[in-house]
Structures are given as structure tokens and as C-alpha cells.
Amino acid sequence: MAAARKGPRDQARRARQGVYRAHILEAAERVFAERGFEAAKVQDISRLAGLSMGTIYALFPGKTELHRAILEERGQELLGLVRTVAAHDLPPRAALDALIDLYVGYFLDHPDFLRLHLRSGTSWVLGPTPGSDAQIRHWKDVHAAQADVFRRGVAAGEFVDEDPDYLARLFSAMDQVLLADWVAGGMQADRAHLVARMQAQVERTFGRTRVGT
């Protein structure tokens, strides 16, 4: 027997819950960014969101689940963008430039998520340890995409002859340091400056010097 179709009330309830969920996560992201996970309280999130504690607890059992949901959803967004770059099948250096622009742009568009991530102490080199299965999977997929760019670049003679997985980790470390420095400096530099700075560092670190040039 076919499942009963959802009625208007069910659809309205689900839509309302979706709006509440997005609003709660946005408020939670800001609170975690400003106070850190340990100091943050659900009451703070409730106050910022303008929603009752009951509404929050109806969707999330506690702040651990809120924190995890933010990391998983943002990680999924970022992975989707990385896959879009990979799908364009760009030459290695152009692909790396595209990833630089992508990462800098994403985190500048979501500064609260960046500050939350930095406060959590997660190494972008080693991945989320500990982390949920989804977080670990997202990190591995992003790392694999980066390593593939370096693998192609090494084979083409564009990048230094090193293990592509190692180069991908080094690239992630450089990205994290760049953005952490941006936050520490009061988030003043614009996107173009940060992209150019990262590109210059990438060239110095990974570019293969050609004899006779």
C-alpha cells in the first residue's frame, strides 16, 4: 500500500522546523565562535536566536549536537564546492589557484564558522580527531581532491617532486595559518590580498624551479 501523502499541516510543520533549525544553527555558530565550545551555553544560543529553550531542545538534544551539526553541514558545503572545482578538470596549477580562491572566499563569507573551527583546535592537516563519521569523511574527501591536484602537478613537472599526500597536507597547513593570521589581525585584509598572499606562498613552496630560468 502506498504511503499516505503528507497533508498541508505536516508540510507547514516541516517547513517551520527547517526555518527554526537554520536560525538556531546560525545563532549557535556565532556563540561558539565568540565563546568557544566549553564556555558556550544553550541559554546564550536561545537568547541570540530569540527562540525558547524548548524549541531548541526539540531539534537538538544539546550543545554537542549543535556543534556537530554545524561542522557537518559546513563541511558538506565545502566539499561540494571542492568537487565543483575538481569537475572542471583544470590544469594542476589552475586547479590549485581555484582551490585557494574557493577556501579564502568561503571562510571570509563565513567568518563565524572560521573562528569556531579555529577555536575547536582541529588540525586541518590531520583532520577532525575526534570527529563524527561525517566530519572525517568530508575531510578525507577534500584531502583526496587536493592530493589529486598535486599528483597531477608532480607528474606534469609543475610541482616539486614529493609525495602528493604530504603536499596536500602542507597546503592545508598553509591555508589554516593564513586564515588564522587573518583572524588574529582583526580580519582587516580583503579577499584579493589573502588570495594573492597564498598564491605567492604556494609558488615559493610547491613551484618547481626550471633550469635556465
Quick: pLDDT tens for 98-117: 999 999 999 999 999 999 99
- pLDDT digit string (tens) for 164-203? 999 999 999 999 999 999 999 999 999 999 999 999 999 9
Q: How far apart are CA 164 and CA 158, in angstroms?
A: 12
- pLDDT digit string (tens) for 128-149? 877 788 888 999 999 999 999 9
In one-letter notation, the amino acid at residue 183 is V
Question: Quick one: which of 47, 63, 58, 142 has its CA closest to 99?
Answer: 142
**Longest Cα separation, the chain:** 75
Instruction: Write the DSSP string, 94-116.
Output: HHHHHHHHHHHHHHHH-HHHHHH
What pLDDT was estimated at residue 7?
A: 72
What average pLDDT is seen over the chain?
A: 90
pLDDT for 210 beyond 80: no
Q: What is the rounded average pLDDT of the residues 57-84?
A: 93
Nearest-10 crossing angle of helices 92-109, 191-206: 140
Q: Is 121 exposed, middle or buried (0-12, 13-18, 19+ CB in 10 A)?
A: exposed
What pLDDT was estimated at residue 11?
A: 61
Of 1 and 89, the structure prediction assigns the larger pLDDT to 89
For 39, residues 6+ apart whose C-beta sits below 8 A from its C-beta are none
Cα angle: 110, vertex 188, 44; to 5 degrees: 45
What pLDDT was estimated at residue 5?
A: 60
Give the least confident one: 68-82, 86-100, 126-140: 126-140
Beta-carbon count within 10 A of 32 CB: 27
pLDDT for 62 beyond 60: yes
Q: What is the rounded average pLDDT of the residues 59-79?
A: 93
Cα torsion 202, 208, 209, 213 to 10°: value is -100
Q: Which of 49-53, 122-126, 206-210 has the highest mean pLDDT?
A: 49-53
What pLDDT was estimated at residue 166?
A: 97
Is the model's pTM score more than 0.85?
yes
Q: For residue 141, what are the CA distances in angstroms to 37, 169, 177?
A: 26, 13, 21
| Cβ pair 164, 213 in contact under 8 A | no
Give the least confident one: 14-23, 43-52, 170-179: 14-23
pLDDT for 2 beyond 70: no
Q: How confident is the model at residue 6 (pLDDT cuts 50, 70, 90)?
A: low
Q: What is the rounded average pLDDT of the residues 35-61?
A: 94
Which domains are delineated in the chain? 1-60 (1.10.10.60), 63-206 (1.10.357.10)
What pLDDT was estimated at residue 1?
A: 43
